[in-house]
Chains A and B, each alone.
Chain A
């Protein structure tokens, strides 16, 4: 696997069963036109080093990056972005799950601004469905809204332009976006997911899986409990960049305080990597790379546990999991109580 030497040559395939990438991020590192063209020259899974990668490649459009008419800005070139261009890139990169180009909303948007964005997204959806007709990739519809009424307004605009039945027949899943600005407000996140589940029921889209864009870590168990099916997360990476080593889904330690012998993950079981995480490397990337990998493993393990809890009969296992993870943290306790009471049958 590409990059495996950075993390000490171990086999970490099992933790990369799904990768989320955004078209909007293609030029994040100020790349040149040649590099850009190389990136999209062949499907990711055909590239050297990725032959054995059989995980899911989720290609987001990156709509939030293109708000205000911005395109892709490289070091010596610009690419104008519209739905056609985004789909072309997604198609060339060979994504397994594709998302239409959307117009995410902002907390400061008023009603008219949101309706206008929904209308623009709806026009993109029509084009996206036409362009991707016959594709083997799964297609996810982006939804934007913080509560039932906002989501309903959004869907009404989509219905006017695309038609609800076409949406239902041609899309394979729903991706709820625009929640990043409220990532730290768990009350709002729970409201949004609960309301999204409700609106999907009322619009008879409830057979479609629900992905929540850009929300992760401590919110995962709560949002899974209220009906989100998948997440994408870069918090494992961001935590590592900030020198934070995950000890669970809800807690981290400063790297200098970590006793690596308490963790049995492949990273912390590797003496060379532990030595590096203890600060013995010339470049920060070599110190923090293994930390990021460790953090990802911790998150993935927790997600696996949550999945097991959801699969086990009844809600008891999930309630128990929530109680023993988030419930132990005073600041998260009330959210745990809320989802247990509202979505998992309550305590009493």
Chain B
């Protein structure tokens, strides 16, 4: 006989799991903003205070407060009231608010239509970890204004939320890159778009560099500047906006979506006008977005010879699917995602071919060449100073030793030794002519260089050097032998005698002495 069984859910574990899924505590802010926006708020204030037993976070908005069932959804798991994706709302999984469970206490006051619902939950995180499902108490009273206030005490801050690492700068970057504060919706749907003021207040102990941060829910690009500026980096403040463009995408299986693309190309100074916080390489490029909130980058959409760092594009599609914590796209193997990738690639190939972009790259290149020329000019000036200050010609490399040799000929030095062939990279650097005969030479600034370079003696007839160098070094070679043979420096007669079974004589031409 067959028996019917129902799969069980361990509710406590589920809550623990979901709350833990939100790795970055800044996600509290993201969830709050999405909720406030969904409640139709025009203004939301988030204040964060550092406390010894964890952070205290207060989120307050003027949107329509929660109904009783909304409040249940707030505390329940997987019971979102925002299940209709057609409605202009952002979260609809019912997971987001569960991040608040990582705290000592949650107090919610939410007012609508003259009634305020007050709810309190004590020690949720501790209870969950003790395998108990935390409960909350609800009370109602009358009120005159709408709005919601959520107070989370003793929030278990991870590293990202600890007072020493949290700053206005970091939060602003997070807001504009990861939350609806960086929404690109107003570019595409100005009629549907509702502007929301976002205020963040940090305890002075956390960051006292400003009173508060005030922004809105729009990603605004730095102003356009199509022409290069002055100075060493003329391209640095160049900026061009692209879009908004809406592209109809059709996948091979017939699925369709709309891709809403807006973006800019800009130099470093332009990009610095955005709250970047940190390295541009992790923030710029091509972002895929859902609900007009950036999710993941797809820098491969730009061909490799165009560095993605100059680009900041957001391509939104409501048909990309997100993981529970909104950090990843999970339908990458679907036909529609592939089609999005393909069409985005095509669109960006047009940007990369835009004459303005080419001009921008050209400005960069020319500026770089100018900087190089300037530094070369500087090095010319330095070299000029050396030439002017010295009392006589002094070679600083092997080629100049050769020029010195020719110069000594012109000034009447005897015997005349002319350079017929010179190859800096070869063991035998030069062929010189003396009394109608050619000799293979090794050329050095100092005679000792030949031995330090470990070059052979058998294959050359002469070593041409500017000076002899450290004679004690030569004596050491004479004492210890060289390349398995013995070497004798007869410098009075300008010669080296090398014996390794055969005897070789190498003539030394000390060029400096030819000027005496």
The answer to whether A348 touches B346 (Cβ under 8 A) is: no
Q: Are A327 and B346 in contact (CB under 8 A)?
A: yes
Asked if B353 is at the interface (CB within 8 A of a chain A CB), the reply is yes
Determine the interface band of chain A, counting residues with CB < 8 A from chain B. 10 to 19
Q: How far is the CB of B241 from chain A (nearest CB, A)?
A: 9
- Chain B residues, Cβ within 8 Å of A341: 353-355
CB pair B354 A334 closer than 8 Å: no
Query: Is A333 engaged at the interface, CB distance under 8 Å to the other chain?
Result: yes
User: Is the pair A347, B354 in contact by a Cβ cutoff of 8 Å?
Assistant: yes
> Would you call A337 an interface residue if the criterion is a C-beta within 8 Å of the partner chain's C-beta atoms?
yes
Interface string of A313-348 (1 = CB under 8 A from B): 000000000000001100001100110111000111
Query: Which of A340, A346, A348: most chain B CB closer than 10 A?
Result: A348
Nearest to A347 among chain B residues (CB) is B350
Return chain A residues, CB-CB under 8 Å to B354.
Answer: 341, 346-348
Interface residues of B, count at CB 8 A: 11
A333 near B356 (CB under 8 angstroms)?
A: no
Q: Please state if B355 and A346 are interface contacts (CB–CB under 8 Å).
A: yes
B459 at the interface (CB under 8 A from A): no
- Residues of A close to B355: CB separation below 8 A: 341-342, 346
Residue of A nearest to B358 (CB): A341
Residues of B close to A337: CB separation below 8 A: 349-350, 352-353
Query: Is B92 among interface residues, defined by CB-CB distance under 8 A?
Result: no
Assess the B353–A338 pair: CB atoms within 8 A. yes
Q: Which residues of chain A come closer than 8 Å to B346, judged between CB atoms?
A: 327-328, 333
- How far is the CB of A343 from the nearest CB of chain B, in Å? 12
A328 contact set on B, CB distance < 8 A = 346
Considering only residues 300-358 of chain B, those with a C-beta below 8 Å from chain A are 346, 349-356
Report the separation of the CA atoms of residues A332 and B261 in the bound assembly, to the nearest whole angstrom.
23
Min C-beta distance of A321 to chain B, whole Å: 15
Chain B residues, CB < 8 A from A340: 353
Cα–Cα, bound, A334→B354 (Å): 11
Q: Is the CB of A334 within 8 A of B350?
A: no
The interface residues of chain B lying within 8 Å CB-to-CB of A334 are: 349, 353
Quick one: CB contact mask for A170-192 with B, threshold 8 Å, 1 for yes? 00000000000000000000000
In Å, the complex CA distance between A337 and B358 comes to 12
| Chain A-chain B contacts (Cβ-Cβ < 8 Å), number | 26
CB distance from B318 to the nearest CB of A (A): 25
User: Separation in Å of the A223 CB from the closest CB of chain B?
Assistant: 18
Majority SS of interface residues in chain B?
Answer: helix
User: Which residues of chain B have C-beta atoms less than 8 A from A342's C-beta?
Assistant: 355
Expressed in whole angstroms, the Cα–Cα distance for A347 and B347 within the complex equals 10
The smallest beta-carbon distance between B203 and chain A, in angstroms, is: 46
B395 to chain A, nearest CB (A): 41
Decide if B242 is an interface residue (CB 8 Å cutoff): yes
Chain A residues positioned under 8 Å from B352 (CB to CB): 337
Are B349 and A333 in contact, CB atoms less than 8 angstroms apart?
Answer: yes
| Bound Cα distance A277, B350 (Å) | 40
Bound state CA distance, A341 and B354, in angstroms?
Answer: 7
Mask, B347-390, CB within 8 Å of A = 1, is: 00111111110000000000000000000000000000000000
The answer on a CB contact under 8 Å between A348 and B242 is yes
Residue from A327, A338, A348 within 8 A of B356 (CB atoms): A348
Q: In the complex, A341 Cα to B349 Cα: how many Å? A: 12
Q: Tell me the bound Cα distance from A337 to B350 in angstroms.
A: 6
Residue of A at shortest CB range from B356?
Answer: A348
Measured CA separation A26–B326 after assembly (Å): 72
Separation in Å of the A140 CB from the closest CB of chain B? 34
Q: How far is B347's CA from A333's CA once the two chains are assembled, in angstroms?
A: 11
Q: Which residue of B lies closest to A337 (CB)?
A: B353
| Contact digits for A43-61, partner B, Cβ 8 Å, 1 yes 0 no | 0000000000000000000
Least distance between B306 CB and chain A CB atoms (Å): 12
Residue in B242, B349, B353, B356 with the greatest tally of chain A CB atoms within 10 Å: B353
Closest to A335 in B: B353
Q: CA–CA, A333 to B356, complex, Å?
A: 18
Q: Which residues of B contact A327 (CB under 8 A)?
A: 346
Most buried by A among B346, B349, B350, B356: B350
Which residues of chain A in 236-269 are interfacial with respect to chain B, using CB atoms and an 8 Å cutoff? none
Closest to B354 in A: A348
**Bound CA–CA A347/B353 (angstroms):** 9
Q: Mark B226-244, 1 if CB is under 8 A from A, else 0.
A: 0000000000000010100
User: How close is B331's CB to chain A, nearest CB, in angstroms?
Assistant: 24
Please indicate the chain B residues that have their CB under 8 angstroms from the CB of A346 in the complex: 354-355
B223 CB to closest chain A CB, in angstroms?
17
Looking at the assembled complex, report how far the CB atom of B359 sits from the nearest CB atom of chain A, in whole angstroms: 11
Could you say which residues of chain B place their CB within 8 Å of the CB of A338? 353
Residues of A within 8 Å of B351, CB to CB, are 348
Instruction: Kindly provide the distance from the CB of A346 to the nearest chain B CB, expressed in whole angstroms.
Output: 6
By beta carbon, the residue of chain A nearest B355 is A341
Interface 1/0 per residue, B448-459 and A, CB below 8 Å: 000000000000
Which chain B residue lies CB-closest to A341? B355
Kindly report which residue of chain A lies nearest to residue B352, judged by CB atoms. A337
Quote the shortest CB–CB distance from B360 to chain A (angstroms). Answer: 13
B241 nearest CB neighbor, chain A only: A348
Residues of A close to B242: CB separation below 8 A:
348
Nearest-Cβ distance from residue A150 to partner chain B, whole angstroms = 25
A18 to B354, CA, bound (A): 38
Q: How far is the CA of A32 from the CA of B481 in the complex (A)?
A: 87
Q: Which residues of B contact A347 (CB under 8 A)?
A: 350, 354
Q: Which residues of A contact B349 (CB under 8 A)?
A: 333-334, 337
10 CB-based A-B contacts, threshold 8 Å:
A328-B346, A333-B346, A333-B349, A337-B352, A338-B353, A340-B353, A341-B355, A342-B355, A346-B355, A347-B350
Can you name 20 extra interface pairs (CB under 8 A) apart from A334-B353, A337-B353, A341-B355?
A327-B346, A328-B346, A333-B346, A333-B349, A337-B349, A337-B350, A337-B352, A340-B353, A341-B353, A341-B354, A342-B355, A346-B354, A346-B355, A347-B350, A348-B240, A348-B242, A348-B350, A348-B351, A348-B354, A348-B356
Nearest 6 interchain pairs by C-beta:
A337-B353, A347-B350, A341-B355, A333-B349, A348-B354, A337-B350
